[in-house]
Chain A
């Protein structure tokens, strides 16, 4: 681990998704924080500097789309990946404007999480 550890925030209300994704990333050397709602995520962001956030869209309370701009307000350097179970999800324009592309959107279920790990790595390298 020569490079500084990449800090990742996982936001997902589904426990098994959240802990397995967090576990997978930790196993691969990422520093992972996780929250089960957007509100919790904002609290975590306010307290901890992070590099990449993996955001579920359908969340109790505030949803993922609303979370991303607020999170960016708190930590403007933060990068985002969207990981959603919604089949009809389309990337809203205001998010696309911030540089989020279709390559940053992943759909559940992924039989291999390495694609997410790779995406996190790439985003963190962009700095």
Chain B
């Protein structure tokens, strides 16, 4: 390196400069010298011409005299003398006839110049004498001076001839020779001195400082820019100083700009790193690709590996196309979405499935757009693709869960109604739809009272539940749907989660259950009565037996019919007839009769109570219910107690017996007891008619109801109130002044417990009552 940097003197700028300068200098010097020499030459030549004229003056008189006098000798010597003059190289003299009379030295005949020997002949020289030999020709430049030879005699002048004197350049050269030499020497010496001096000083002043600068610059590097300074050894403020300053300034600038550039680069690098990290950290695949399928990828983030199992390089270099991963079924959708977005200059978004490298199917969401040039021509696509498989799975799971929850609440036997804080329905289940006949869509957003009128009375509770955040409940809430009385349990659960205000109302129709409960209670009561009766029947029956038997014996012994009475009366001396009259008057017999009646009634009560105790069904055999009813009607007609109050025969009996009803297994006497009870009750009820225009009438119906036989005993009496209806089958419950309060309850017990049937009463006050008995057609377990 260093050796290459070292500059040979020959190649130095100084040398080159010198060379150029000296070349020019030399040219100029030579030109000036030559000019000097030419002028010198011309000057000498003109000097010579003057000399030749001077020579003319010197010799013209002599020559004229000689010629005039024809003095050949003198002429000869004179020519000889002329040739002796250094300036003259040749002489030619012509006479008036033009013939040469004397020649010598270098002369010219026309164009030919040459040397001839000295000849003189006043008569004229022959041409042969003056001829210039071939080898005497002269090449140097010759010049001449010609003058006439005139002889002046008295006032008369005569031209005798003409003389020509020749000189040539060699004469001039001889004169200027030394001057020329000095000139050349002068020039050469000056030039050489200048050369050396220039070289020497240029070395000190230019070459060395520059070499130092060059050496110094070699040490400049990016590392020492901040501290590096070049120093050039020179004096004064000259170009080198300026160069040094410039160079240092340049280094300074360089350093500064380098620093700036470093900062910029650092900033750039950071920025790029951040950008790269940002792009790489985007959960998904960031891409740039071609417009057309299969969307050859131009740029792609490493998210590709996660998304589809292939590294980005597979797409960028490996020849893999993203389009190949899209499931064929979804391809048209993706294509359409992308093309539509590109055409409309709108971002596009599309969800579809791709095949992961490991074979699994992934759901992805792609958001992208086309990039256009200034003419609106699309160039490429850019966008991001996110894996939404998990989201899809969650969505599916949520959908499934929602369905499950809906199924769950729909499968609830209760009506479930969700309301907001204003009491508007936000949701309800299938049961609520069934109960109200209003679909969820119709009910949504409607006030509760409007779509679920049965809950109107519960609105206050709903509000309270929401306000107090407490569960509220109400049991056996009454409502009427289509005129039918229904009972519901209503629970109001406030929704306590944050951000949700409202309540869920659960409505259970408990009408059937309440009925059942009522029946259970009846049965239990009866069973306990039955158990009690069985336990005490013996204890009561014995004293009752004593009472009744003794009354009978007492009455017997007071009668006049018995012979023993007559005998005894006679023995004690009284008249039986008188005694009888006395007892009649004092109503003793009546009282004894009433004791007997009371005893009998007590006996009947015990007997009825005993029928509450369950007994075997030994006497269960199939019976025609119509026949049993008819027999009972007959029996009722002859009932002693009944007869006393009204005539059963006045009651109209309407029979509506189903012809297809099979015989029903039952205990005939017990069922008849039931029917008799009902007829007696009805007859008694109709005996005090609420509506005189309504004739007393029984409607007796039998019909088949599935696997049950249904028997209805409907009267046209005053009916019963709801309160009474509820308690009608209760033991010892009675509305009659005279009555055990056991008739209906015994009937109920016989039907439900002994026969496995049901017994209900339907009644509206003032509209009569209808007892409905259902007995199973098959005697089951």
Contact = CB atoms under 8 A, between A and B. Distances in A.
Interface residues of A, number: 23
A24 B599 CA distance: 18
A21 interface: yes
B538 A20 contact: no
Contacts, number: 76
A109 interface: yes
A111 B546 contact: no
B256 interface: no
Contacts of B534: 87-88
A103 interface: no
Interface in A58-89: 58, 85-88
Contact of A17 (B533, B549, B564, B600): B549
Contacts of A58: 538
B543 A16 contact: yes
Interface string A85-97: 1111000000000
Given A17-B549, A20-B550, A110-B549, A27 B542 contact: no
Interface string B507-522: 0000000000000000
A113 B550 CA distance: 10
Contact of B546 (A20, A24, A26, A27): A20
Chain B CB within 10 Å, residue with most, of A20, A21, A26? A20
Nearest to B536: A87
Contacts of B553: 20, 23-24, 27, 113
B562 A20 contact: no
Nearest to B550: A20
A109 B539 CA distance: 11
A20 B541 contact: no
Interface in A13-46: 14-17, 19-21, 23-24, 26-27
Interface in A95-127: 107-113
A112 B537 contact: no
Given A109-B603, A111-B600, A24 B549 contact: yes
Contacts of A14: 542-543, 545-546
B149 to A, nearest CB: 220
A17 B542 contact: yes
Interface residues of B, number: 26
B548 A111 contact: yes
B14 interface: no
Contacts of A26: 564
Given A85-B537, A87-B538, A17 B596 contact: no
Contact of A24 (B541, B542, B544, B552): B552
Contacts of A113: 549, 552-553
A10 to B, nearest CB: 11
A87 B541 contact: yes
A27 B564 contact: yes
A50 to B, nearest CB: 21
Contacts of A23: 553, 557
Interface in B555-575: 556-557, 562, 564
Contact of A16 (B547, B556, B564, B600): B547
Contacts of B547: 16, 109
B338 interface: no
Given A85-B538, A87-B538, A109 B552 contact: no
B610 interface: yes
A110 B534 CA distance: 18
A111 B603 contact: yes
Interface string B731-762: 00000000000000000000000000000000
A85 B606 CA distance: 11
Contacts of A20: 546, 549-550, 552-553
Given A16-B550, A17-B549, A20-B549, A108 B542 contact: yes
A87 B542 CA distance: 11
A108 B545 contact: yes
Nearest to A22: B553
A12 to B, nearest CB: 8
A26 B537 CA distance: 28
A108 B547 CA distance: 11
Given A14-B546, A27-B564, 12 more contacts: A14-B543, A14-B545, A16-B550, A17-B549, A19-B550, A27-B562, A85-B541, A87-B534, A87-B537, A108-B541, A108-B545, A113-B552
Interface of A: 14-17, 19-21, 23-24, 26-27, 58, 85-88, 107-113
Interface of B: 533-534, 537-539, 541-550, 552-553, 556-557, 562, 564, 596, 599-600, 603, 610
